[in-house]
Structure 1
Amino acid sequence: MRISTISLAAVSAAVALAASACAAPDAGTAGAGDPKATTAAQTVDQAAASKLPADIKQAGVVKVASGVSFPPMEYFASDNKTVLGFDADLGKALGEVLGVEFEFSNTNFDGIIAGLTAHRFDLGLTSMIDKKERQASVDFVDYLSSGVTFLVLKGNPKGLKTQDDLCGRSVAVEKGSTGDLVADDLTAACQKAGKPALKKAPFPDQASAIQALQSDRADAVLALDLTLAYNVKQDPEKFEVPAKPFGTLPVGIPVPKDDPQLRDAVQAALKVLEENGTYQQLLSKWNLADQSLTGAPLNTGQ
């Protein structure tokens, strides 16, 4: 029995499953932006900066949690220290608008929300999907939309073409990520259809999940389309994405629920970047124009 997109939607309201609604970045261009290219420095926007909490204004630093192994969103340069990617560029620009520095710290993805609620970090810039269950702990300033799909080895030796082909297969995911959550939804759909569950293999970061696929410890990697398309672009002879995205999901900047001032400051700064064209320039630089989400809405995830 084939698992229908309707049955999957029933177990995951966040995944709309309209494959045509969100196309992955073109595998021929995704992530091809020059990491050395720069945008003009921003002028401090006093209206946005005035919304910052007093302690952050005084410190001059916003402590950012990020799982830095998720290109083209965030990844280390060859020095293994400098953070590159769309989120890194966006954080720099947001900081300039607010008159503070966004200081990135590499953190395991599954510990980011706990770090935010414990106030070890001020916010996250880490390609986190805005989901209703996460909104109990954090507020999201949404800034992109993305779909979920899977990566396989070149030539697709296991013949995996749709999400229902993953039933009974070993699927690598970054622990706590959207791929991890969607793997559980797919398992429920598989079992409902009388098929075996996914053999979910969680790893501490996305790079480790990719390595598991390369070393034949997993049949596929389940993740956001924007990062998987980047993997194909970087190694077109090693990888391919055989399936269209399962649906469209909002990507947000998580801010602790008890810090509405910082949330509102970030939202205001993001709107400034949209209005002056910087947001669109960064999308173009990192080949993410199809993932554009304007208006900086709050908590749109389901």
Structure 2
Amino acid sequence: MVKAGNPAGLKAAEDVCGRRFGEVKGSFSVLPKLQEVCRKAGRSNPEVSSFEDIPSMQLALVSGRIDTYVGSDFNVVWDKSQGKPVDSVALPEAGTLVLGWTVPKGNDGLRDAVLGALRELQKDGYYAEAFARWGVSDNRLDPGVNIGAQGTGFDG
């Protein structure tokens, strides 16, 4: 995620090197991937600022205290719909961020109810329609698919 208009001119993960990068304390981090990209490019690591929560980090972004942070397409679409001055830049070199829903282990009833509802939405076409309406069709997975091992956070 970047400030609207991408004033830092980020186009690739290498462009984050030496820039002000934000992340939420205790959350998933792509920083090791970015540091690897920077090392291979012979550039300095991003300057990291840690935040207590996403709203604080978003405020830092739009006020110019950081240049970027990793968010999802869903966040960008939602934030833009709420009038926030943000844009997105794809950085595939930084890895794949896989998002999903989790339910507590042993709560099979809740798991089955959520999965059943999503499958009904898929069956009547609303699932695909909603993803298309918000411009995030590339992120759509079939309900019940677990591809977490393919995400950056699960690399060995």
TM-score (norm 1): 0.41
Per-residue deviation, residues 94-136 of structure 1 (Å, max 9, x unmatched): xxxxxxxxxxxxxxxxxxxxxxxxxxxxxxxxxxxxxxxxxxx
In structure 2, do the counterparts of structure 1 residues 191 and 206 end up closer, same or farther at CA, with 3 Å as the change threshold?
A: same
Normalized per residue, which structure has more helix?
Answer: 2
Tell me the TM-score normalised to structure 2 length: 0.71
* Alignment match, 1:174: 24
Residue 230 (structure 1) shift: 4.3
Matched, 1:244 2:90: yes
Going from structure 1 to structure 2, the CA distance change for 1:170 and 1:263 (only over 3 Å counts) comes to same
Find the structure with the greater CA-based Rg.
1
Q: Matched residues in 1 for 2:99 and 2:112: separation? A: 17
Q: 1:296 to 1:160 in 2, by over 3 A?
A: same
Distance 2:91 2:42 in 1: 24
- 1:235–1:259 distance in 2 versus 1, CA, 3 Å: closer
Separation of aligned partners in 1, 2:99 and 2:86: 25
1:160 aligns with 2:14: no
- Identity rate, percent: 33
> Using the alignment, how far apart are the partners of 1:226 and 1:173 within structure 2?
17
Match of 1:264 among 93, 112, 119: 112
Match of 1:16 in 2: none
Aligned-residue offset at 1:248? 5.1
- Highest RCO, 1 vs 2 (Cα 8 Å, sep ≥ 6): 1
Matched positions, count: 147
If each structure's strand is expressed as a fraction of its own residues, which one has the higher value?
A: 1
Give how far 1:257 is off. 2.8
RMSD value, Cα: 2.9
Indicate if the aligned counterparts of 1:173 and 1:202 stay in contact, CA closer than 8 A.
Answer: yes
Aligned to 2:49: 201
CA contact (8 A) 1:168 1:197 kept: yes
Structure 1 unaligned residues grouped into runs of 5+: 1-149
Give ranges in structure 2 of 5+ residues lacking alignment.
150-156
